[in-house]
Structure 1
Amino acid sequence: MPDDTPDLRNRIRFAAIRGTLWMLRCLPYRWRVPASGWIVSRIVAPLVGWRKRIRANLARIRPDLPRAEVERLTRAVPDNFGRTMAELFSPEEFVPIACATPFEGPGLAALDAARAEGRPVILVSGHFGNYDVIRAGVIHRGFSVGGIYRPMNIRQFNEIYVETISKIGTPLFSRGRRGMAEMMRFLKGGGTLAVLIDQRLRNGAPLDFFGHPAYTALSFAELALKYDAVLIPCYGIRQPDGLSFRAVFEAPVPHTTPEDMTQALNDSLEAQVRAHMGQWLWFHNRWKEIKKPRQAPEAAKEA
């Protein structure tokens, strides 16, 4: 939950964030987005240790990469993240670009067929490219699309964040018991849900991602099975100009078991990341081992 305590640290953080956003808003959009990428890549990333995390993850997952490519990615990854943040906080300019983005891929026919049949849809992406290109573009095509968000730790910033992403589209569901209940009702009613699959969760399954176990939520596959929802991997891929995108909708994942379906989603995301290495959040510690609580001896005997 967002931190309601008005301590000095949070006030300073919020003032810095608000000041940076105000400064960027003074720039035209075509300059604002690359400027935000530059600030995050050249200033923020070294200060908060993202470059070190990127190098560590790449050394573990892609030890074959040349040193020059690793160093390029230490700049490209936070640059993409900075651009994405500028876009999300510029809905007036970003949404028309997302709506004009060409859609492609076999998942499009499945998406339209589901709407005609009144079936719910779960659009699955990752922290890759700009994932909200998908949400904004599908809304533009006449779908009711719900999104899930994780509340920010700083309450004042969370209020601005939710207000801003609401301009891209609603409804929005906060992670937590109440938000999940609302999301399930929305999906059961035939809604379309846009979600991200690449967050590490304590209660997730240790599925494969780049040849290493990564704790991944099975809940979206379980919801697809429960509500007969079409499960479509999709991606907003940033183009070389840094401002435009391709929206790719892959073939729906067949309904089998939650584990197999979720592994298929991981495999899909991995393939996209391999093709566009600088567009995924390599500073996220996706493969960190999660220590499960030790089972009491009595519970172990009963099991």
Structure 2
Amino acid sequence: MPAAPLPLRKRAGYFVSNLLFRGLIGAGLLLPYHWRVPAMGWVVSRVLAPLAGWRARVRTNLAHVMPDLPEEEVRRICRAAPDNAGRTLIEIYSGDSFKARAVNAPITGPGLAALEEARKTGRPVILVTGHFGNYDAVRASLIARGHNMGALYRAMRNPYFNAHYVRAISAIGEPMFLQGPTGMKQLVKHLRAGGVLGILTDLNNLSGEALDFFGKPAMTSMITAELALKYDAALIPVYAVRQDNGLDFEIIAQAPITPTDAKTMTQDVNHQLEALVRENIGQWFWIHRRWKSK
């Protein structure tokens, strides 16, 4: 069934906000890469985040899961999380300059050997990741290494922004599978052919299960584990950790999740992501409403 047309007022709001973002991105792209990435991080952290209420949301999330965190550390994370989000945004639009950084990123961890073994045997692989560091660095790196890697993505609410955003992420590598019935059919065909699939798993999902994340129940989709079990795919958590210079990455491929049942496997993913976030706490997307309940 086609989506209902947007009300005029909402459509106008989306149009104006998209113009602002397009202008910001366009201005950033005029700068050399090593200036534009920190500059966009600064603008998002120091200008947009306070205006959009993102700092308040970061504070709310931190108070929910880590109420004893010192105030100085809370303030640091309130700056660092939007800064990483701004850097990630402009990197996605930076084309070959970003891909060159991703391709040069070292890949460490036991999951790399499992990934290469799966390629030799033709076994499908699901790389489960999250809004941490820059998740598209993983995709760019593995595509450059010859892996047949696709990704599942969710359309943005703003249709004007979504149009150029999809072009930008598609330029990093294809295939891309839009969340929905058609995308799921394409995704399954890709897995059955022994492909590699990337899925972000740390968004709030009210149709998922209430699993532990930072000691609190968080509604979590189990689609990654369910697909892995159904199609005998290796389920490997993989993350791109931003390095101290703010421009480069280390890609960490964690050990494959042991096949058991979908709930246990997904909880293992949550625990491993939490441990990584605690080590690099400013690189996770504390801006979103991860702990919304039904």
Structure 1's 5 and 26: CA in aligned 2 closer, same or farther, altered over 3 A? farther
Which of residues 259, 265, 280 is equivalent to 1:261?
265
Aligned residue number for residue 22 of structure 2: 18
In the alignment, structure 1 residue 230 sits paired with structure 2 residue 234: yes
Please say if residues 2 and 158 of structure 1, whose CA atoms lie closer than 8 Å, have aligned partners that are also in contact: no
Please say if residues 102 and 141 of structure 2, whose CA atoms lie closer than 8 Å, have aligned partners that are also in contact: yes
Per the TM alignment, residue 156 of structure 1 is displaced from its structure 2 partner at its CA by 2.4
Aligned residue number for residue 34 of structure 2: 30
Per the TM alignment, residue 181 of structure 1 is displaced from its structure 2 partner at its CA by 1.6
User: Which structure's CA Rg is the greater one?
Assistant: 1
Aligned residue number for residue 203 of structure 2: 199
Per the TM alignment, residue 3 of structure 1 is displaced from its structure 2 partner at its CA by 7.0
Mapped partners of 1:186, 1:86: distance in 2: 29
Where in structure 2 are the equivalents of 1:240-259 lying within 5 Å?
240-259=244-263
Per the TM alignment, residue 10 of structure 1 is displaced from its structure 2 partner at its CA by 2.1
Mapped partners of 2:4, 2:175: distance in 1: 19
Structure 1 residues 64-105: Cα deviation after superposition (integer angstroms, max 9, x where no partner):
211000001100000000000010011220001100101111
Aligned residue number for residue 174 of structure 1: 178
Structure 1's 139 and 186: CA in aligned 2 closer, same or farther, altered over 3 A? same
The count of corresponding residues between Structure 1 and Structure 2 is 290
Aligned residue number for residue 74 of structure 1: 78
Aligned residue number for residue 299 of structure 1: none
Which of residues 147, 151, 174 is equivalent to 2:151?
147
Give the letter aligned to residue 171 of structure 2: K
Aligned residue number for residue 100 of structure 1: 104
Please say if residues 152 and 176 of structure 2, whose CA atoms lie closer than 8 Å, have aligned partners that are also in contact: yes
Where in structure 2 are the equivalents of 1:79-90 lying within 5 Å?
79-90=83-94
Structure 1 residues 201-243: Cα deviation after superposition (integer angstroms, max 9, x where no partner):
1110111101111111111101101110000011100011000
Which shows bigger deviation, 16-25 or 114-123? 16-25
Mapped partners of 1:107, 1:180: distance in 2: 25
Aligned residue number for residue 215 of structure 1: 219
Please say if residues 206 and 293 of structure 2, whose CA atoms lie closer than 8 Å, have aligned partners that are also in contact: no
Mapped partners of 2:175, 2:5: distance in 1: 23
Aligned residue number for residue 295 of structure 1: none
Per the TM alignment, residue 173 of structure 1 is displaced from its structure 2 partner at its CA by 0.6
Per the TM alignment, residue 140 of structure 1 is displaced from its structure 2 partner at its CA by 1.0
Per the TM alignment, residue 155 of structure 1 is displaced from its structure 2 partner at its CA by 2.0
Mapped partners of 2:12, 2:169: distance in 1: 27
Please say if residues 87 and 94 of structure 1, whose CA atoms lie closer than 8 Å, have aligned partners that are also in contact: yes
In the alignment, structure 1 residue 279 sits paired with structure 2 residue 283: yes
Please say if residues 127 and 198 of structure 1, whose CA atoms lie closer than 8 Å, have aligned partners that are also in contact: yes
Report the RMSD for the aligned CA atoms in angstroms. 1.3
Which structure 2 segments of 5+ residues have no match? none
In the alignment, structure 1 residue 186 sits paired with structure 2 residue 190: yes
Q: Secondary structure at the match of 1:246?
A: strand
- Normalising to structure 1: TM-score of the pair? 0.93
Aligned residue number for residue 60 of structure 2: 56
Please say if residues 222 and 266 of structure 2, whose CA atoms lie closer than 8 Å, have aligned partners that are also in contact: yes
Per the TM alignment, residue 255 of structure 1 is displaced from its structure 2 partner at its CA by 0.4
Give the letter aligned to residue 33 of structure 2: Y
Structure 1 residues 240-283: Cα deviation after superposition (integer angstroms, max 9, x where no partner):
10000100101100100000100000011000000000000112
Q: Secondary structure at the match of 1:27?
A: coil
Per the TM alignment, residue 178 of structure 1 is displaced from its structure 2 partner at its CA by 1.2
Q: Secondary structure at the match of 2:172?
A: coil
Structure 1 residues 7-48: Cα deviation after superposition (integer angstroms, max 9, x where no partner):
322221121111111111111110100011011001110011
- Normalising to structure 2: TM-score of the pair? 0.96
